Amino acid sequence: MKILVTGGAGFIGSHVVDHYVQHGHEVVVVDNLSTGYAANVHPRARLHQVDVRSAQLADIFERERPDVVNHHAAQMNVRRSVAEPMFDAEVNVLGSLNVIECAKRFSVKHFVYISTGGAIYGEPEYLPCDEMHPVNPLSQYGASKHSVEHYLYIYHVNYGLDYTVLRYPNVYGPRQDPRGEAGVVAIFTGQMLADEQVVINGDGDQTRDFVFVEDCARANLLALTRANGSGIYNLGSGRGTSVNEIFDDLRRITGYRRKPVHGPALVGEARTIYLDAAKARRQFEWTPTISMTDGLQLTVAYFHALKPAKAA
């Protein structure tokens, strides 16, 4: 199949591209490189440096005629969504709608959309959150990502566009940018390896559902062959890990000697969230395979390997 991946030069999207290419698919990447890097793109994938909001996107669809669209491109920083809600909506809602319109116009067979499980549910009424949990986001990011799910339903009912929504947990691993993305594992790792002061927002007892990037990328591959009609699926480990636990584990792995400094808690973030991925397990036979310990060690090894190159 020919698959067009938006955001395919970014942290998670580039791992998805790798999986698609390695399994014999022809892959086209659309990325404006605002947070992604051309070096992340698999050498057998074609990169178009275009913003998903651009009218040029239709030209790419007309030229490439993809069978599948995998839509990862997004404004994904919760803090920026709170500070700049208009920009957040412009990218995440209008940009996504542009991609969906192109998919409809050029007869795409399947649309895989990356939503958020960490920000969509708000403060949970029960844990772990399954797909039937009420959606009450606390941030503009959560609201903008969820709105696209409604558009996909409309385009499925009215135009026959099949879709799979994957609601991501907190994804971590190699290629995450500690400067440009709100990923606590990458931020802490970068600071610890540079022997800089680590700042924990709030008391650090807030919990998140952390899943290694390779596991999430594999779900995107399974969605191509095991999705049965259109639907929404949580990805997650089913357990919460506190920010303090992440700090302690990374300190042990890196040999970091400083104590953390605690700053104010952030606006728009839930106190506790972790996800029930039983539906994905039933439909895709997907479960996380990489433990937190192994995932953190792989992440630290990746960032440690970058240090000589950056120093040069």
Q: Render pLDDT for 181-219 as a digit per residue (tens, 0 to 9).
A: 568 999 999 999 999 999 999 999 999 999 999 999 999
Read off the CATH number of the domain in which 81 is found. 3.40.50.720
60: how many CB neighbours lie within 10 A of its CB? 19
Enter the pTM of the model: 0.95
Q: Are 220 and 285 found together in one domain? A: no
Q: Are 15 and 72 found together in one domain? A: yes
Q: Which domain holds residue 109?
A: 2-172+210-234
Q: Rounded mean pLDDT of 273-301?
A: 97
Q: Are 142 and 23 found together in one domain? A: yes
Q: Are 189 and 307 found together in one domain? A: yes
Distance separating alpha carbons of residues 18 and 44, to the nearest angstrom: 9
In a domain, 103, yes or no: yes
In a domain, 178, yes or no: no
Read off the CATH number of the domain in which 249 is found. 3.90.25.10
Q: Are 217 and 260 found together in one domain? A: no
Which residue carries 């991501």 as its tokens?
168
Which residues share a beta bridge with 263? 201
Catalytic center residues = 141
Q: Are 65 and 168 found together in one domain? A: yes
Contact present, 121 and 136 (Cβ < 8 Å): yes
- pLDDT band at residue 312 under the 50/70/90 scheme: very low
How many domains, the chain? Answer: 2
Give the pLDDT confidence of 93-147 residue by residue, as tens digits: 999 999 999 999 999 999 999 999 999 999 999 999 999 999 999 999 999 999 9
Give the pLDDT score at 177: 86
Give the pLDDT confidence of 245-264 residue by residue, as tens digits: 999 999 999 999 999 999 99
In a domain, 7, yes or no: yes
Closest CA to 275 of 143, 145, 121: 121
Q: Are 150 and 104 found together in one domain? A: yes
Q: Rounded mean pLDDT of 140-164?
A: 97
In a domain, 177, yes or no: no
Give the pLDDT confidence of 37-71 residue by residue, as tens digits: 999 999 999 999 999 999 999 999 999 999 999 99
In a domain, 21, yes or no: yes
